[in-house]
Amino acid sequence: MGEVEFAEVAAGEYRVSIDLGDGRTSTVLVGDGVRHRLGAVVPERARRAAVVTQPTIGVTVDSGLEQRTFELGDGEEHKHLGTVGSLCESFAEWGLTRADCVVGVGGGLVTDVAGFAAAVYHRGLDVVHVATTLLAQIDAAVGGKTGVNLPQGKNLVGAYWQPRAVLCDTETLRTLPEREWRCGLGELAKYHWLGGGRLDDLPLAARVARCVQIKAEVVAQDEREAGRRALLNYGHTLGHALEIAGGHGLRHGEAVAVGLVFAAELAAALGRVDADVVAEHRRVVDGYGLPTTVPPGLDGDALVELMGRDKKVLEGGLTFVLDGPDGLEVVTDVDPSLVRRTLEVVS
């Protein structure tokens, strides 16, 4: 089983090293200005770096190699197989080889698409991410899940492909648009119940680094989500349903925030936790200025139906990650009428 090393390498700068077994390692650097370390983390043998980004990211990087920039469109509608195909064709036209590398610079959309293209181009070449959003730094860019959407659902095609390194430059977070910031806050809130404790007391870089460390420890134990990795989806069952039902009117983090409060209420309704635990969920989510209730106008029955289609569902029953006496656990076959009633509590 893999191991994780955590170190503060300089004041306010952190390194998380993930040993993934089979000689594979992934290193995450967190701190102000760490994007300038790119030249030190690209593979030594690489001659070229294909930088994949979006026009709105506005972060330039220097890999120290011959590099060319490939831009993706803005918006979830660009996250599809056609985009990966075009990207791979552009790599081939430029003559990118297996010895070279891909550098994803941006948020979760960029790191998911660039990571997937790196996984399949020439059957796999090294990828390094410069994560520029809170969501990408504490979740999407770390852990090796890559992929794109199908018309039938989100992230239905992809591959596990571990980044060689991830640079989480906290300087880029200071200019992040408010809604993009909120998109990451729901994930940040989630880590409070994954062993993060009072994360709100930490300075930004330390907080990001702690979330990365928690995620890295889960991924090192269960890279392919045979068990424990599913816990990283805490708050996501209702969260995903809200995103779909609300036509993405709610940002991911906002939807997860409501999902966290709902999960606490559901755990209480099942007798797994007491009222104090529910109150703590509400305090943390509210403390980040995130919503705690389902937006008006969404149909409860439709939400229950959408939750039944969640990727975690293995045998048809409603499945949730819920808090309990032993911490978070995957709970299967939850009674749909209890889920429906609990939705009323958070409406």
Residues carrying an active site annotation:
123, 145, 187, 215, 225, 229, 233, 236, 240, 252
Q: How far is the CB of 10 from ligand GLY (least distance, A)?
A: 28
Among 290, 233, 299, which Cα is nearest to 261's?
Answer: 290
- Residue 63 or 111 with smaller CB distance to ligand GLY: 111
| Residue in 100, 112, 126, 139 binding ligand GLY, rule: CB under 6 A | 139
When asked if residue 107 is in the footprint of ligand GLY (CB under 6 A), the reply is no
Binding range to ligand GLY, per CB under 6 A, among 33-41, 139-147, 158-166, 237-245: 139-147
Residues in CB range of 60: below 8 A, 6 or more apart? none
When asked if residue 182 is in the footprint of ligand GLY (CB under 6 A), the reply is no
Binding range to ligand GLY, per CB under 6 A, among 91-99, 138-146, 255-263, 272-280: 138-146
- Residue 27 or 221 with smaller CB distance to ligand GLY: 221
- Residue 50 or 230 with smaller CB distance to ligand GLY: 230
Q: Which two tokens stand for residue 273?
A: 């936790």
Q: How far is the CB of 107 from ligand GLY (least distance, A)?
A: 13
| Residue in 145, 192, 207, 240 binding ligand GLY, rule: CB under 6 A | 145
When asked if residue 158 is in the footprint of ligand GLY (CB under 6 A), the reply is no
Binding range to ligand GLY, per CB under 6 A, among 73-81, 105-113, 137-145, 261-269: 137-145
When asked if residue 188 is in the footprint of ligand GLY (CB under 6 A), the reply is no
Q: Using CB atoms within 10 Å of the CB of residue 277, give its burial: 0 to 12 exposed, 13 to 18 middle, 19+ buried.
A: middle
Q: How far is the CB of 139 from ligand GLY (least distance, A)?
A: 5
When asked if residue 229 is in the footprint of ligand GLY (CB under 6 A), the reply is yes
Q: Which residues bind ligand GLY (CB under 6 A)?
A: 139, 143, 145, 229, 232
